[in-house]
Amino acid sequence: MTTTADPVLDAETDPQTPDPQAPDPQGPDTDFLASVVGSLSTPQKSIESKFFYDAQGSQLFDAITGLDEYYLTRAETALLRARSEEIAALLGSGVSLVEFGSGSSVKTRILLEALPALKVYVPIDISGAHLDAAAKRIAADFGLPVIPLHADYNSRVSLPLQVPRDKLVGFFPGSTIGNFEPEAAVAFLKRVHGLLGSGARLLVGADLQKEAARLVAAYDDALGVTAAFNLNLLVRINRELGGDFDIDAFTHRALYNAEEGRIEMHLVSLKDQSVRLGGKKIHFASGETIHTENSYKYNLDSFRALAERGGWRSEAVWTDPEGLFSCHALIAA
């Protein structure tokens, strides 16, 4: 693919959404299969949340961000718009922006419009078709060199050689840092430190503690979009891994774990049942759950402490007028 800007490194993928029920013609992903079988074989069954984001899952998540109950995206987007000039002044001109888990890059556009003389934009995302489509739009709309990386940003990632190393800025919006267990969040921040290097900066969105009812509603909307997003994990496992989950035999549940300070999402078995996957038979008791996601909520001090453990020092923090959400500017120590 070429644009009027520099060439975009682009995997040639079909941007159309596949039939969610159609079998994967290339056979099962062995790493995906091993992860799912292993995590479903533990006393508390679970599935890694990174597997939410096939093409259908990415589209459903985009729909979630527009729901009335899901305050996070509105609060963060308004915050970035209100503070974009201050953020740009702090970061300076001529930076290279690396986004972790870019998705559709909606919030990124606010930064791209504010940052002067941006050198290159590097979005990293696990959903290849979604990533490529967003990268093409950014390159066309901004006349900017874009280098999309189809990768799991929570694994070891190397930046392409053509990315300048002198003024690297990482961007991790959406409170995705809250999906990590605290120790895993520290490990992630250390990996980002290693990738970007000393003196680099990182902008991180972090959701803030608030009343439980508002938190639960954000993850269990009245229209059932979040339920469909959660259940799509089982649809994907059936399609890509040859599972035989009865989708109608599971239901979505969101709850607030006050002791841990986190929202939890689960898939609840509605009956005693067994599922075959990867040559194994996995039994579910009625009421047993698959733990699919955590979303930790922070206060400003607890997040600063987390960042310091990951090798980052807080330079600035911005919050929205209601105190719902925070954006942290960190510098690699």
Lowest model confidence (mean pLDDT) among 5-9, 83-87, 307-311: 5-9
> Going by C-beta distance under 8 Å and a sequence separation of 6 or more, which residues neighbour residue 148?
8, 9, 10, 11, 102, 122, 123, 124, 125, 131, 132, 134, 135
CATH code for the part of the protein at 71-151+162-210+297-332:
3.40.50.150
Residue type, 73: T
Please give the residue that has the higher pLDDT: either 20 or 160: 160
Interval 104-157: pLDDT, tens: 667 899 999 999 999 999 999 887 777 888 899 999 999 999 999 998 888 888
Relative to beta strand 325-332, strand 201-207 is: antiparallel
- The pLDDT value recorded for residue 26 is 54
Query: Distance of alpha carbon 21 from its chain centroid, rounded?
Result: 24
Interval 262-305: pLDDT, tens: 999 999 999 999 999 999 999 999 999 999 999 999 999 999 99
Name the DSSP class of 24. Answer: P
Relative to beta strand 325-332, strand 312-319 is: antiparallel
18 pLDDT above the threshold of 60 = no
Paired tokens of 186: 């520290």
Distance CA 130, CA 120 (A): 19
Task: Please state the rounded mean pLDDT for residues 187-198.
Answer: 96
Q: What is the total residue count of the chain?
A: 333
Residues linked to residue 205 through DSSP beta bridges, in sequence order: 327
Tally of helices (H runs) and strands (E runs) in the chain: 9, 12
pLDDT tier at 27, thresholds 50, 70, 90: low
Contact 265, 253 (CB under 8 A): yes
